Amino acid sequence: MGGCAKPISPEPRLTDTARPDPITTSAYVSPAVARMEQPLPVEIFTPRNISGRTLAVATTSDIVLKPGEVVLTFDDGPRPGKTPAILDTLEDYGVKATFLMLGSAAEANPRLARKVAEGGHTVGSHTYGHVDLSKLTRQEAINEIVKGEEAVAAALAGSGKAAAPFFRFPYLSQTGFLRTNLLQSGAVVLDVDIDSKDYYRDSAAVVAQRTISRLDARGSGIILFHDIHQRTVDMLPAFLDQLARKGYTVVRLVPRNGNIFGRDLITAGMAQGNAEQL
């Protein structure tokens, strides 16, 4: 299974950072890469509503999709200049997605975080600083998860929309201890069925085709994107157009048990006696 922006050796990890500053990311782009980032030829799509069921989930195992159903998830944002364009495209197709935000990014861009929630999308968390939790002590990992949840919740404050107790492991790097604790605390751990690998330096068209091919092979699933890449912005209209043509519908995930404060956050206390490094 691919990672959530897993670094690809020997390339440095450029495209999936906790830094919300797009200029920082752009500064890494070499001219050769920039040439690959040319936008797709302008295509005229006629968006149509492809929204499907709304699925209220209390736990990960509640996410059971039927053939032809997809869930759209976007990690690592919100990112100015990228997330708003993605929201516009989702609106064109009448669909709602789940955004697993970094606490650091939500903290840096609270208005944008609220805009996502106010658009009817589900907002969960993805740690504070996008660290590989399997490399931390249990205590450190829990602190990182909680810090991320709290930062996302704080960013949404005043929006009238609460953060969902939805969580995705950075790099999809989990431990049994952390997964069990999250699930026992009432969190919904969002796994990935189809990794778009939109963090590869492929063209938008390649990302769209790869994702559709994997979806067609599987028939349904939770799709992983990142709302921090221009290629993801560029590929989304063509991708959703293909979903429409092929008859897929987009399932909206919502929390059944309310916001993150409706449950017991995992706490440092739960890790006592289990504080050895995993």
* Torsion angles phi and psi, residue 54, rounded to 5: -105, 125
Q: Minimal distance in Å, beta carbon 183 to Zn ion? A: 20
**Residue indicated by tokens 């005229």:** 44
Q: Minimal distance in Å, beta carbon 228 to Zn ion? A: 9
Question: Residue 34: is it exposed, middle or buried by C-beta count within 10 angstroms (0-12/13-18/19+)?
Answer: exposed
Q: Residue 238 or residue 253: which is nearer to Zn ion going by CB?
A: 253
Q: Residue 75 or residue 198: which is nearer to Zn ion going by CB?
A: 75
Q: Residue 4 or residue 136: which is nearer to Zn ion going by CB?
A: 4
Residue 75 falls in the annotated catalytic set: yes
- Among 16, 226, 229, 241, the active-site one is 226
**Positive/negative CA dihedral, 8, 13, 18, 21:** negative
Beta strands in the chain (DSSP E): 51-57, 69-75, 98-101, 122-125, 166-167, 188-189, 194-195, 221-226, 249-255
* Torsion angles phi and psi, residue 110, rounded to 5: -65, -35
Residue 45, both tokens: 């799509």
Q: Residue 52 or residue 170: which is nearer to Zn ion going by CB?
A: 170
Q: Residue 19 or residue 256: which is nearer to Zn ion going by CB?
A: 19
Residue 226 falls in the annotated catalytic set: yes
**Residue indicated by tokens 């993150």:** 260
Q: Minimal distance in Å, beta carbon 172 to Zn ion? A: 9
Q: Are 202 and 231 in contact (CB under 8 A)?
A: yes
Q: Minimal distance in Å, beta carbon 35 to Zn ion? A: 26
Q: Any residues with CB less than 8 A from the CB of 129 and at least 6 apart, and which? A: 18, 102, 103, 104, 144, 148
- Among 75, 198, 202, 234, the active-site one is 75
Q: Minimal distance in Å, beta carbon 46 to Zn ion? A: 33
Interacting residue ranges for Zn ion, rule: CB under 5 A: 4, 75-76, 170
**Residues labelled as active-site residues:** 75, 226
